[in-house]
Structures are given as C-alpha cells and as structure tokens.
Structure 1
Amino acid sequence: MAIINDIRTGFALSNPDEKLFGETLPKTGEIQEALKPMILSASGWRKVFAADGNEESTTEKLTCADSYLSAAMASVFADYMITLTGKESPIVLIGMDARFTGPAMADAMVRVLLTKGVRIRYLFISAAPELMAYAGQSGDVDGFIYISASHNPIGHNGVKFGLNTGGVLDGGQAAEMIALYKEFLSRESNIARLVEQVQKADSSEIRKVLNESPLWKDEAEKVYQEFTAEVISGQKDPKEQNVLLRRLKKGIQVSPLGVVSELNGSARTLSIDKSFLEDLGVRVKQVNALPRQITHRIVPEGESLNLCRETLEAQSAEDKAFQLGYVPDNDGDRGNLVYLNSRTGKAEILEAQEVFALSVLSELAYLDWAGLINEKTAVAINGPTSRRIDEISSIFGCQTFRAEVGEANVVNLAREKRAEGWQIRILGEGSNGGNITYPAAVRDPLNTLGALLKLLTLRTEGDKQGLFHIWCSRSHQMDLYTENFNLTHVLASLPAYTTSSAYEKRALMQIRTTDHSVLKARYEGVFLEEWKCRKDELKRLWGISSWEEWNQEGTTSQCGVGAAYRSGSEKGGLTILFKDKDKKNLGSIWMRGSGTEPVFRVLADWKGRDGRAEDYLLEWHKEMIRKADGFLDSEVKG
C-alpha cells in the first residue's frame, strides 16, 4: 500500500508495508561509530541524523545505523516505562518538531513500541510545550518521546523523554536511561533481536496509529489551550481564569496591542499561538507560518531575530498597535523577543537575559497585585542567569535559588523548594531565554507573552496599583512611572547589567580536555595566582575588593574552592562572584562544558552599563581557562 501522509501538512509519515531494514543487519562497528558523536544528557540526546551527514541538510533519510539507534531508544524507553508504571501496555505520546528526519526516527520507534505492547498516541509535529502539557494534564498518558534537537541546526535531531509530570525526566531518571541505552547498544546479541522486532511490526497496527494522529493532535491542542489559560492566570478554577482573561482583553481594547509571530517553520506553526492571542484581542501578524518554512538559523538569538525586527518595524508603520514580536526555536519551547522602542521608532532585539528579567518582574508584581506574595516566595534560576534577577527578586522581598544549567535541573530545584514550603511561580534560565511559569514544567513563549500582556494591561485603576506602578513604587523609581507607559518605559526601569550572550562567538571555547575535574582544579590554581597579581588593578578599575566561588551541580549550589564542593565528573558550572568593599555583588564570571554541544561556554555579568568591565572580565576569564587547559596539555605531552 502507499505511503501515509499527514492530513494537515501533506508530509510523509511512513509506508507501513515497507520493511525498515534490508536483509543485511546493521553491523556493530557501524552502530558504535554512529553513536560516537551523540551527546547524551538530561537536556536531550542529540547528533546529526541526516543521512548525508550535513548539519544543515533537509534530507528525510536516515542511515541504517541511525534507524537502529532510533529503534533502540524506543526499546529501552518501553522497558523503562513498563517497569516504572507496572503496566503491560502504558500509553506513550510521540511527537516531534519540524525537522526533516523526525518522521523516519518516529517510524522506527512506532514499530518497536507496538511490538512491546505500548499504546501510542502519535501527534506528529507538535510544539514541545503542547505535547508536555498534554502528557501532564490528560490524566491517562504515562510518558512521552519527543523527537527534537531544540536549537541545533536542522540536520541534527535527537530525543527528550518524559513521564506524566509535564516535563522531561529529572537528572537521576535521565542518567538511568542513558546507562540503559549504552548497555543495550553494547550487546551485539541485541542487534538481530531488535531488528526482528522492527520487521515483524504489524502494518495494520502501524496504519492505525498514523491514521489516529489527527484526533490526538486535536485533543492535545484543546488541553494545551486550557492549560495555558491556567498558567497565565495562576488559577485552577476556569471561572477565575476567565476573570483574569477578560481583564486582559478589556485592557487590550483600551490600549490595542499587535504582535509579530515569526515562527521560522517551527512546530509552533501547528499550535495555538494565533488563536489564543486573537481570542484576547491581540492583533497577530504571522511570518514563516508553515511547518518547515525555515529561512534562517534555528537558535532565536542575534541575527535570527532580524526578520522579526524588520517585520515589526514595517507593521508598526501601518498600525501603531504593533509593539512586540517573537521568534521560537524549532521545538517551540523557547522564544526571544523584539520590541518597538517608542523613543526612536525603531524595532530592537531584546537579549535573552532581558526577556527573562521582564518576565520575572511581571510575575512577581502579579503575585503582589493579587495579594499572594510572601516571605517564602522565590525564583529558581541557573548558574549563568544574570544577577539582575537577584536584584529584582530582592526588591520584592523574594529569594533566588540557583541550579546547574539544564531545564530539568531548574524545574527539579523548584519542585524541591516547593516541597520545603517555598512559593515559586516563575523559574528559568536567563542565559537561554524563555521562562517556566508554574504549574508548567517547560519553557513556553506563550507564557512569556502572557507575562508581558499582564504587565502592559493590568494598569492602575483608582487605588488599585497596576503591575508597573507596583514595580516603580517598590524600586523607588516613581520618577519613571507614567500612566501611559509602554515597554520602553519598563525596560528603562530594569536594573542595569551587562551580560555576555550565551550564543555569541566570544562566549564559546574549544577545550582540549574532557576531564573537567582536573581542568577546574587547574583553573582554581591559575585564578588564585592571577588574583594576587591583579587585585589592586581590579580594585582600581572596577571596585572589586573580594570574591567567592560557587559550584552548581544538579539542583545544588555550593560556595567554596576545591573538589570538596563538587562531585562525580564535576561537569557542573563554576562561578566566581566579585564583590565591592561593602560585600555587595558587582559581577561574575562563569564556565561550564555544554551537555548538548561539543563546546565550553563562558560568560561575564557586570552590574551597570559599562561594557568595558564585562569585556575585561570575559577576556581575563578565557585567558585563565586557556592557561588551565595549557597545563593539561603540557602534562599530556610530558
């Protein structure tokens, strides 16, 4: 029979009657070679899956070895789910972003899951927050496989696994899955067994799974729509949700708002963005709104926001209501913003750290507005998030808690703190853009937009102060408050910080060693020597009088120097925090090896708008890392 195509997009899903593997089994050496470049971490499993090996490829084909790797992922996860749930036939969602190799990976996975007795709900292209909301809210789904490589180039692909918590596996669960996967692939006897399972999958069952896909996708969208209303309002009761949503709608009627949605062919092209915003009265202009209509690099940083910026500027010239624009990555779980600067009339790109700061400001002010803020309110963030967040939080009388980089780490830190009695409504990774608003457990650009809509529309009425009014009052900046404020006014009121972008070239380094424990020990030695030589200069130039070292691993952040404050392979983040003579924070430098890319990330964060300080600290930081790496190189040669 013929290939089955998705009814919404026309894209090919699978030919159920076609055997996935030929008569020749994939060889052990081929499988291990295909596995070598794959990064396996709590944030996801990723590599180039395009059969031609080109990371910018649009081919839909996989190599035989990569089809086997995909099948093995499903086999290991099926066994994991059956053991974890105690069910013979757990329900598992399969969804993907808009990459070209997704259907081929899913084809291998569907066949394995069916032979294992797993009940599959196949969503095809679905934004990650949509699929995860469905997993967490449906009441009967046990887990999910999401096929994506997030912000990596289009020829890459990979997976994220999750349960019915609404988010990905936590660090311990992810480590267990990685160990099981490696063990499975190390056994040559598994090759023939797994290929046999794939080959014997019932074509009628495959066809049924694929034909039911539109029904499950529609249900996922409905659940996501309802869940988004709950997240933005902070209310479980639909009646209370509607009170807030009606208030937003009324505010937008009084002060019209337009948003440019430049979707870059992502999974969000098939989600609720347009309908949800338009239901609130927001005017929406969509660009690149067809799946796989990818016209620029996927990571929504820097130049990737230029098209959105240009479109917003042009749209605003026709309709002054247009003030905002956003660009998601391919799986749609993060998105960065552009805004119209009312003082210049030009559209400008917001840095990821600024977007997160605006969201935190809004959500804390919203808690204050609703009378829900208290002494045990906090924000959970990652190591390289700007200290601007600490300052905003302290203005509201709130705490900040830091975890290692990785969405799962921040989500789990927030869960741990909630179990201790803390109220954590907003969390996220300022360095990566986007925010997670409780009860969501994943970043979502709609929740970022929701935060800004509240900030711009919940205005002062009589004696009831609006969100921006609350912020200006608490931060002693009433001179900046005006009744007719817009986002330009809000941005001007943020604490001033200069922070390296996580995705600019100067924030990436190639490190020759993979032993981060030794590298960090060497770095600490280099830093201590450098401090002795430079402390007078640092005090004279930047007012730095002292420092602290912080190490973030998983959900912990420890202050101290040396391996005693780290554990295991020591692959977490390391931060040097600089203070002035009064022990107040001035800035920091941070480093960590990426868990999803073969690079070492570095960052400097400085209080104020003096880019010279940030540049000085970043270059000095990189120089010390190179020295530490050089020591390692010398030891190897010796």
Structure 2
Amino acid sequence: MNKLFGTNGIRGIANDTLDPIFSLNIAMAYGTLKRGKIVIGRDTRISGEMIENSFISGLLSCGCEVIDVGIASTPAIQYYVKDNSSVSGGVIITASHNPPEYNGIKIIAEDGTEASRDEEEKIEESYFKENFKKVNWRDTGRYLKTDVSSQYIDSVKRFLGKNLGKIRESKFRIALDAASGSAFLTTPRFLESLNIGYVGLNCQPDGTFPGRNPEPTEENLKILQRIIESGDFDLGIAHDGDADRSVFFDEKGRFVEGDIILSIVARDILRERKGEKVVTTIATSSSLRDVVEEEDGTLIETPVGSVHVARTMMKEGAIFGGEGNGGLIFAEHQYCRDGLAALGKIMEIISKEDRSLCELADEVPRYFTIKEKIMVEKKEEAMERVKRRLSELKEPFNDRDGVKVSYDDKSWLLIRASGTEPMIRIYAEAKDEEKAKKLLNRGKSILKRE
C-alpha cells in the first residue's frame, strides 16, 4: 500500500501535491473511520484556510461534528482535544518548520497525542480504496467555532504551579521571535500575564514568513541573536511555525543547542524525582545520557519523531522526553511537544537555581555534534546502498531508524532519510571536533558511493 504519512503527518506543496481535493478525500477517509466530534485548527500559512475548509467539508459530509478553532498553536489544539472527553480526535493544518509554500495535515488521537502509525495506515487504506461513507443530507455534521488559546495558557501556568510566583519575582527580560507563526497567540500573552518584559520579533501573523524561515536554527535567527547581544536580556527564545518547539539563546547571545536544553531540564526533573525515566531519540547527543545516568535516571531511545517519543513515554511511564530540535514533552502536562511549556520550564529552572542559562549550559558534558542535509530524491534506494556498503565493510550498525554506527569512545555516526522532505540527514558526534568532522565526511562518502 502506498504511504501518505511521514515522520510528522502529511506534507506537500500547497495547491500542488496538497490541494483541496486531496484534503477533502483525506478528510472523508478520516471521517468515515472516526465519526463523532472532531477539532480542527491551523497555523498561519496563507494556504491554511483553503486546506482547512476543504477538510471541514469532508468531515461534515461524513456526519462528523466539527469544532473549528481557527489559527492556534499545535500544543494548544492538542491540549483542547486531551481536555475534552467528548472529542473523538483532532486535525491540525500545519507544515511546522517547512518553507511557506508547504502545508500539511497532522492527525491527533482522542487523548491529544499524535495519531499512531496504525491509525495513519487505516486512513491511508480508506483513502486509496475510496471507501468513504457519506451521510444523507439530514445527517450532515454540525459546525461550531471556539477559542483554545486562553485555556491552553492557563494550563501551562497550572503545570508550572508553585514556581509561577518565583518566575514573576525574577523579573525576566526576554527577547522573543515568534516566527510570524501561531506562537503570536500564546507566548506574548503568557509573558504579559506574568508581567515579564519582552522585546518581540515576528510577533505578527504572516503565512509568508517574511522575517525568517520558520525552522528555528541558529542560522535563521541572526537578527534575534544581534538583539540579545546588543541589549540587556536574560534569555532569548524562538519558535517554529506552529509553536510546538522552542530554541534558546543565553544572556550573552549564544545559541544553546537543543540537546543541552534537554539535559538541563532532565537534570532538574531527576533531582526532584530520582530514578525516573527519560525518553529521547537515537539522534540525540550522548550528553543527555551522561546527565540522566549521573542523576540515577534511566534513558530510553526511540526512532526519530515526536510520536515515537510520546508513545514510548506513555508506555514506559516516563516523566520527561524530547528531541534535540527543541521539542520537549512533559508528562505532567501533556504527551506532546510544547514550546510554551518549555519556555516556562527553563524560566522556572533559572529562577529556582538563581543562575543564568549560560551557567546551567556550561555544566552539561560537551560533545561535538555536526549535522548536514543532502538533497536526495530516491532516498530509500540511497539508504539501502548505505546498508550494503557498511555490510561490505563488516561494520556493525543499528538500522532501527536509518543507520547508526556507535563506537567505544561514545562517538557515533547516523545516516537517516527525512520523513517529510526529499533529503538525507547525516549526524556525527564525538568528544573531539576533528573526529566528529572525520565521521561526517565518512558518512558523506558512504552515502555518495554507488
């Protein structure tokens, strides 16, 4: 059977590979399977309304009741689904960090988590068989509208609980880049509600993302970095297009790698909750393992993708999880990546410890991690060649997700195909920068060799 869903839902070029007819048919496939009450929302992309409206039509034609929340952050929509027992599931029209010409469809389970692969396969089967069950005209679904942002902001405050007062008292000064995405509805309001001063960049919604690419990499955040360097700030934060991720700069304007943020948060949580489990992916730096083991916790690794992390957390009873791309998951709040909760937790740690983010980051064990993207149209064939080459070299590897080669000195090489774009990512990590570079070059050589 053909595959529509990638690592994070369905992605495509708006009005090309992802047009209203495609969206309508996916909606009918989903609505046929699900029925009941479905929540739908979108990020700020200019194609969002077009895709969302066609999806709504498909759901209504199958008799689903639709609750349209309009533009909202992904974690806000997921929280609303989780918090309303009468809801059968959710749909988010977003392409997250992809460029503005892309859009996507993300399916949410009734507990607020990303849909399982089993559910996605059922939708794919229904779609390709065109096995749609339209209702008669009397039974077409009801259409309602509501807001989810206020409820979500309040939920993040409850998650921070007793430490909210300490955050207020710390009188943070924040530099914020909302990416012109759906974070404009939540992060500024959250900060204002705590009387926290901030300077906002790209805090107006614009689906063309004129200020920067919505992927929050250090390279895309140079303006924010300069603002921090030239001002008096405690912290810099930037979101992706749908606000389920956050990346941070310290008070000196230095970009703090996502793996370091994971380690800072894991250390804080494990010092209060000894022996707990933490979940991350095979692409995360060994610095997290060092920290978790140092604090007597247990680290569990999964394939890349937040759905794998979240569902493993639920299965294993883990308290915290995440990926090195800025996606943090807090079991005590909800089992999904949450950019605003991540900001709140970092401010909580800084205020509790009475130390700067720079000081906290400097305590985390350091590894040199180098990543490179290589555009490859036939990525599955390329990955098979990589496996054959390593087998010829008699080099042991883990192929649970891509191909990972681990070495005795904790260095490693990972080659894996992107689940959302025609590219292959190569990751190399070592204690020594030169070795990391050599590993990266070796990975590129293995990939390109016919």
TM-score using structure 2 length? 0.91
The reply on whether 1:274 has 2:193 as its aligned counterpart is: no
Deviations 1:594-613 (A, max 9, x none): 11111111101112xx3211
Structure 1 gaps, min length 5: 1-35, 54-61, 83-89, 234-240, 317-321, 342-346, 419-423, 460-483, 532-547, 553-571, 581-585, 631-638
User: Does the Cα contact within 8 Å between 1:91 and 1:141 map onto a contact in 2?
Assistant: yes
User: Does the Cα contact within 8 Å between 1:42 and 1:170 map onto a contact in 2?
Assistant: no
Which structure 2 residues correspond to residues 156-167 of structure 1 after superposition, within 5 A? 156-167=102-113
* Partner of residue 624 from structure 1, selected from 435, 446, 449: 446
Deviations 1:439-460 (A, max 9, x none): 322212222212211221113x
d(CA) in 1 for partners of 2:77 and 2:437?
Answer: 41
The reply on whether 1:523 has 2:347 as its aligned counterpart is: no
User: Does the Cα contact within 8 Å between 2:14 and 2:102 map onto a contact in 1?
Assistant: yes
User: Does the Cα contact within 8 Å between 2:321 and 2:330 map onto a contact in 1?
Assistant: yes
Amino acid corresponding to residue 258 of structure 2 in structure 1:
A
The size of the alignment, in residue pairs, is 445
Amino acid corresponding to residue 115 of structure 2 in structure 1:
L
CA deviation after TM superposition for structure 1 residue 335, in Å: 1.9
Deviations 1:447-479 (A, max 9, x none): 2212211221113xxxxxxxxxxxxxxxxxxxx
d(CA) in 2 for partners of 1:104 and 1:182?
Answer: 22
Deviations 1:75-131 (A, max 9, x none): 01101113xxxxxxx111110011011101111122222222211110111100000
What is aligned with 1:428? 322
Amino acid corresponding to residue 152 of structure 2 in structure 1:
Y
The reply on whether 1:183 has 2:124 as its aligned counterpart is: no
d(CA) in 1 for partners of 2:70 and 2:260?
Answer: 33
User: Does the Cα contact within 8 Å between 1:92 and 1:119 map onto a contact in 2?
Assistant: yes
What is aligned with 1:249? 168
Structure of higher CA gyration radius: 1
Secondary structure of the residue that 2:397 maps to in structure 1? strand
What is aligned with 2:201? 287
Query: CA distance change for structure 1 residues 39 and 172 in 2, over 3 Å: closer, same or farther?
Result: closer
CA deviation after TM superposition for structure 1 residue 518, in Å: 3.7
The reply on whether 1:307 has 2:223 as its aligned counterpart is: yes
User: Does the Cα contact within 8 Å between 2:246 and 2:343 map onto a contact in 1?
Assistant: no
User: Does the Cα contact within 8 Å between 1:138 and 1:223 map onto a contact in 2?
Assistant: no
Secondary structure of the residue that 1:402 maps to in structure 2? strand
Secondary structure of the residue that 1:500 maps to in structure 2? strand
What is aligned with 2:435? 613
d(CA) in 1 for partners of 2:426 and 2:376?
Answer: 11
Query: CA distance change for structure 1 residues 68 and 448 in 2, over 3 Å: closer, same or farther?
Result: same
User: Does the Cα contact within 8 Å between 1:333 and 1:444 map onto a contact in 2?
Assistant: yes
What is aligned with 2:241? 330
Deviations 1:277-297 (A, max 9, x none): 233342222222111172111
User: Does the Cα contact within 8 Å between 1:264 and 1:327 map onto a contact in 2?
Assistant: yes
The reply on whether 1:361 has 2:267 as its aligned counterpart is: yes
User: Does the Cα contact within 8 Å between 1:114 and 1:201 map onto a contact in 2?
Assistant: no
Amino acid corresponding to residue 327 of structure 1 in structure 2:
A
What is aligned with 1:437? 330
Deviations 1:553-590 (A, max 9, x none): xxxxxxxxxxxxxxxxxxx232111114xxxxx21111
User: Does the Cα contact within 8 Å between 1:134 and 1:224 map onto a contact in 2?
Assistant: yes
Percent identical among aligned pairs is 20
Amino acid corresponding to residue 77 of structure 1 in structure 2:
Y
The reply on whether 1:599 has 2:428 as its aligned counterpart is: no
d(CA) in 2 for partners of 1:508 and 1:355?
Answer: 26
Amino acid corresponding to residue 427 of structure 2 in structure 1:
L
Query: CA distance change for structure 1 residues 142 and 622 in 2, over 3 Å: closer, same or farther?
Result: same
Secondary structure of the residue that 1:550 maps to in structure 2? coil
What is aligned with 1:221? 149
* Partner of residue 130 from structure 1, selected from 76, 91, 107: 76
CA deviation after TM superposition for structure 1 residue 625, in Å: 2.5
Structure 2 gaps, min length 5: none
CA deviation after TM superposition for structure 1 residue 42, in Å: 4.6
d(CA) in 1 for partners of 2:12 and 2:68?
Answer: 23
What is aligned with 2:412? 588
User: Does the Cα contact within 8 Å between 1:509 and 1:602 map onto a contact in 2?
Assistant: no
More off after superposition, 285-294 vs 510-519: 510-519
Structure with the greater relative contact order (CA < 8 A, sep ≥ 6): 1 or 2?
2
CA deviation after TM superposition for structure 1 residue 512, in Å: 4.2
The reply on whether 1:382 has 2:328 as its aligned counterpart is: no
The reply on whether 1:491 has 2:339 as its aligned counterpart is: no
* Partner of residue 264 from structure 1, selected from 176, 179, 185: 179
User: Does the Cα contact within 8 Å between 1:549 and 1:575 map onto a contact in 2?
Assistant: yes
Which structure 2 residues correspond to residues 456-535 of structure 1 after superposition, within 5 A? 456-459=350-353, 485-501=355-371, 506-510=372-376, 512=378, 514-515=380-381, 518-528=384-394
Amino acid corresponding to residue 213 of structure 2 in structure 1:
R
What is aligned with 1:402? 301
CA deviation after TM superposition for structure 1 residue 299, in Å: 0.6
d(CA) in 2 for partners of 1:201 and 1:598?
Answer: 42
Amino acid corresponding to residue 412 of structure 1 in structure 2:
R
User: Does the Cα contact within 8 Å between 2:4 and 2:124 map onto a contact in 1?
Assistant: no
The reply on whether 1:68 has 2:21 as its aligned counterpart is: yes
d(CA) in 1 for partners of 2:292 and 2:393?
Answer: 30
User: Does the Cα contact within 8 Å between 1:500 and 1:507 map onto a contact in 2?
Assistant: no
What is aligned with 2:314? 415
Amino acid corresponding to residue 50 of structure 2 in structure 1:
A
d(CA) in 2 for partners of 1:386 and 1:183?
Answer: 42
